[in-house]
Structures are given as C-alpha cells and as structure tokens.
Amino acid sequence: MNLEATADSASRFVAFVGELTRVIGHADRARPLRDYCAGLLVSEGRRSVEPIASVTAPAEVSVQHQKLLHFVADAPWLDEPVLAKVREMVLPTIERHGPIEAWIIDDTSFPKHGSHSVGVHHQYCGQLGKQANCQVAVTLSIANHHASLPIAYRLYLPKEWAEDAARRKKARVPKAITFKTKPQIALEQVRKAYAAGVPHGVLLMDASYGSNSALRTGISALGLNYVAAVVASVKVRRASERGAPDPRLTVKQLALTLPKHAWRTITWREGTNEQLRSRFARVQVHTSPTRGRRGRPEETLLIEWPEDKSEPTKYWLTTVDKDIAFRALVDLVKMRWRIERDYQELKQEIGLGHYEGRGWPGFHHHGTLCIAAYAFLISERETIPPSASCSATLLKKPAVPNRYRPRGAADPTPTSRSELDRDAPSTLDSSNRKSAPEMSLLCKQI
C-alpha cells in the first residue's frame, strides 16, 4: 500500500466515520469518534485511551486523553444504533460476494487480574482454555464465505454482580440489566436482529449454546433454522416409521450403533487453500422425550468421527432441510470457525481487549468502536486489486490458535497465557501493513 493509496484510504475512513456521526448524538462527539476509531487502526501495541491520545494528538496528549476518556467512558451515547449503522454500511460489501448464509452465536473472554472491572468473575475463559478470572461478552455475527462481522455485543453479568447493588452502582450498570444466562442473552440478540430485518442465516453455535433446548426452541419459534453443536450426553430418539418408537439414547450411544456404511469421508474448504477432511454420519432424530409430544419437529443429527480417533468427537442437531447435500451441510457447520478469526483480529489488530476502564458504559462503547473499526477494514479489502502486489486480503485468515479449545474439552497442557495475547505475532498479511510514513499520513489525512 503506497502513500497515494493510504490517502485514499484515509478519505474513505473519514466518510465512513462521518456516517456514524449521524447516530452518535451531539455534534461535539464527531471528533472524538473519529480520533478514537483512527487510533484503534493506526496505534501500535496497546490500544487503550492514552496510547490512542498520543497517536491522534501528539501535541496535546493530556487534553486529548481527557476528551477521549469522557467520550468512551462517560458520554451517554447508545451502542445499538451505532452497531446498526455499521451493519447497514458494511452489509452491501459482504453481500456483494453472496447472500448472508449464517448467524453465529458465540462469546469471547478477556482475562483480568483484579475484581473491580464490571462483570469480572472466575468462569470459563475461552482465551485461556480454562476457568479463570475474566469478563465474557456474548456476540451475534453475520457471515458468508467472504466475510463475517459481529453485529451485537453484550457483557455477560454473572449473578453475583447482578444481585450486588453496590457493585452495580459503582460500575454504572443500567437498572434495566438483570441477570440472564449467556443463551438468554444470545436469544435476545437474535430476536432483535430478526426484528431489525437483518438478512436471515442459519444459526450456528457451539455446544455451550446448542445444548440449551430453550435457545433452540426460541430460534425455531422465529422460523429460523440452526446448526447447534451439542454435548455427547444429549438424548435423542431415532426417527422411525415403525409402529413402536425407538428407545432414547445419548447422541454418543446412537453414533456407536451406526453401521460402517453410514460413515462418509467429507472434504471441505474452510476459507483457505487448505483442504480439510473428516468422517461424518447423519441420521434423522427426535429430541422430544415421547413420540406423541408436540413442538419438536424431526431434526438431523450430524456426527463427526475422525479416522484417527477412538470415538466420535463432535455432534450437531440441525433443522436445515434434511435433503441438503452432505458436503454442503458439513461446510455450513464449519463456517462457525469464522468467528474465531474475527475474535483474533479484533483482539490483536484492533485492541478489543485493551480497554482499561471498569464501568459498563465504557466496556460497551470500546467494543462498539472496535467493531466499527474492524468493519472499515472489511470494507477496505474491496479496494485491493486481485493483481496488485499486495493483493492478499487485508485480513488474512489465521489457523485456530494452538491453545484454543472448546468448552468441556480436555486440557492437554496447562497454559499461562493465550495464543491471542496482544504480544503474539500478528495475523495480518505483512504486505498490507502500513509503514511509519503511511501511518503518519493517515493520521494527518484523518
């Protein structure tokens, strides 16, 4: 990317943020909004308020620091309208390469040493792959095979926090916020996206969400389909046209009864040039306890059993058309991993986990602005010609971090810090990094 291209990028950035000022509220928030987002994009190292102030106003760091701190931690602007505007602006870019195929439910965690930051609790931390002191934010993303973007972002407030009036007041948790489980937060996000007319996609979720029957029922009530990972102990009954109903078995027990010819080796492409393959089987099942119970239609149980494993490793329940091509179903299931790429880039390259404040408003404001900056990068990929020397995508899809593991998976080796640590090597293509002169020009142009 040369200086001329950087100037063009800066011009597009100003226009992008200018659209956000339409929903941010008072006109005096326009400059802090632009500076904060610019700082997230061009700062190196930690992207908290002070470093952002240093790079966006080096001649008056102290004054800039106070302005940005007030804007992100105290100013009473709403996150949802800003995220809706971001979605509105970037959706055409994503859909230019095909319709939205999936909505992805997931959460991301931020390890914390202290106990005063809002929502901090000893709980499962996906970034570390184990129980730890951390904050957890639930997200809903839209995706196709070209790109994905979080469109909803909310902190999970543990019950201990939700019921502690003093802590709530100090952290400025809104009165309307009550304790909700992560699946309940996710369903609320799905309902709002549905009501807002977001293009529909199949709901994808890991086992911590997919095993929740109330969440699956709520999704079906909206007329949406899902592919929900479930734990091995979930019970189902094999669909049968015989008079006597088949017995209820755990999905693992059912998988072990399937004949050899039920298994097929499926090859899929997970967004890179690397071909991936594994063994899968699918069978029609009912999740209702009894044959005559209403409310739960027949579903497809998809099972993965790699050839080098002694038993099946993953299970999914899905309400998509049972006649969907086998490979298309597997490809859809594997799209959920796009969110891991998003989390990694948001943390490493945008600073999603770098906010140092302790309050509810600041936590969400910072997250919203990080998503806005990330959305701008997604839109910028369209400006890189396929034949150019830097034609590799601006956001290069990395491998899933070595230490990442889903909830409930065995921890093979203890780890003291995550692959997603801010000091870990960047996953952005080096050919698309801005040089020091280019970064300086970008700040000046902005």
* pLDDT score, position 19: 93
pTM over 0.75: yes
**Three state DSSP letters for 233-256:** CCEEEECCCCCCCCCEEEHHHHHH
Which residues of the chain are modeled with pLDDT < 50? Answer: 1, 271, 292-293, 385-441, 444
- Residue corresponding to tokens 């049972």: 322
Strands 130-143 and 121-125: antiparallel
List CB contacts of 186: < 8 A, sequence separation 6 or more. 105, 138, 140, 205, 209, 215
* pLDDT score, position 241: 65
Q: How far is CA 21 from CA 26, 308, 386, in A?
A: 8, 54, 32
Phi, psi of 360 (to 5 degrees): -60, -50
Please give the Cα distance from 37 to 149 (Å, whole number): 17
Domain assignment present for residue 225? The answer is: yes
Domain assignment present for residue 327? The answer is: yes
Please give the Cα distance from 90 to 147 (Å, whole number): 10
Please give the Cα distance from 221 to 191 (Å, whole number): 10
How many other CB atoms are there within 10 angstroms of residue 389's CB atom?
10
| Under 8 Å between Cβ of 23 and 369 | no
Structural domain of 243: 211-336
Determine the angle formed by the axes of helices 30-42 and 360-380, rounding to 10 degrees. 70
* pLDDT score, position 113: 85
Domain assignment present for residue 322? The answer is: yes
Domain assignment present for residue 23? The answer is: no
Please give the Cα distance from 342 to 355 (Å, whole number): 18
Identify the H or E element spanning 103. strand 102-111
* Number of domains, the chain: 1
Please give the Cα distance from 218 to 194 (Å, whole number): 12
Please give the Cα distance from 36 to 366 (Å, whole number): 9
* pLDDT score, position 160: 95
| Under 8 Å between Cβ of 135 and 112 | yes
* pLDDT score, position 272: 55
Domain assignment present for residue 287? The answer is: yes
Please give the Cα distance from 415 to 130 (Å, whole number): 9
* pLDDT score, position 411: 39
- Name which of 123, 287, 289, 135 is nearest 211 in CA terms: 287
- Residue corresponding to tokens 């709403």: 78
- Residue corresponding to tokens 């899929």: 268
Count helices and strands in the chain by DSSP H and E runs: 15, 12
Phi, psi of 278 (to 5 degrees): -165, 175
